Chain A
Amino acid sequence: MIVVRLDRVLADRKMALGELAEIVGISNVNLSNLKTGKVKAVRFSTLDAICKALNCQPADILEYQDDEEMN
């Protein structure tokens, strides 16, 4: 499964979720859902805007973990 590590990058950049939401142009609720992994998909345009705002790579935000290993 894909794990979202957005909270880690936000902490490193010392940026609040609301601030990132405003820069990226999506709602606080949607970004919070993304952070907690409640979304089903992310658009490339959104990923592009997040990486631009946080000056990071997609691999910094998204991590793959095997479901069996997690269990």
Chain B
Amino acid sequence: MEEQIVVHKRFKTLATVMYVLSFIVMIIDGLVAAGVVIGGIVLAIMPVDEVMGILSNLTMDASLETPGGAVTITEEILSYVNLDKTMLMLLLLLSLLNVLIILFIIILVNRWLANLRKGNILTVQNSKYIEYIGYSFVAFALMEMLMSIAVSLLIKSSIAISELPADFREFFDIENIGITFDINLIPVFAGILIWMIAKSLKYGSYLQDEYDQTV
């Protein structure tokens, strides 16, 4: 009888390797989330003038790069920027939620891989994990859209657009920055497909249960 792939030694080794990798990624993402939280707390306490002062006193050259070219951020350009703290905090909060959604996906993948390592393939628990991954993908797409809106609002509220040099305004087309409800459909479709796979696995777990209870 042909050996089942899921009990094959190589499959278990691969599952173990992926489990360890997902664990490392989980820790890194956790650190990123912690960084965002710390950044948020610091920004909440620090006055806006001090933040602008730090940006102005940066000894390294900062530049904005786009497919069309690059612009060096000079003190003159920074003088037109007055950060809206509320919008910045909102953007940080959305970034934190984004990171947490990614962390949630990684945790679910980690738990699923842990079950695969033990040889528990078609279980209700695994199908639930994959179902939640599907939902998280859709949530991620929505969060991306919200962040894009928040960035547009931050730029509009923080930059004195009418006072910017004309070539800068033209180069970045800043005047035409608007609020658009563009949602990335790729993670949405991926989430729906993953949800369908989860439902198939749930049926698979039912069949597995029937098989296990047959002598």
A positions within 8 Å CB-CB of B: 26, 30-31, 33-34, 38-43, 46
Contacts and interface: CB of A to CB of B under 8 A. Distances in A.
A41 B212 CA distance: 10
B59 interface: no
Interface residues of B, number: 4
A61 B28 CA distance: 60
B63 interface: no
Contacts of A26: 215
22 contacts: A26-B215, A30-B215, A31-B215, A33-B213, A33-B215, A34-B215, A38-B213, A39-B213, A39-B214, A39-B215, A40-B210, A40-B213, A40-B214, A41-B210, A41-B213, A41-B214, A41-B215, A42-B214, A42-B215, A43-B214, A43-B215, A46-B215
Contacts of B213: 33, 38-41
Interface string B182-215: 0000000000000000000000000000100111
A34 B213 CA distance: 9
Nearest to A38: B213
Given A26-B215, A40-B213, A41-B213, 19 more contacts: A30-B215, A31-B215, A33-B213, A33-B215, A34-B215, A38-B213, A39-B213, A39-B214, A39-B215, A40-B210, A40-B214, A41-B210, A41-B214, A41-B215, A42-B214, A42-B215, A43-B214, A43-B215, A46-B215
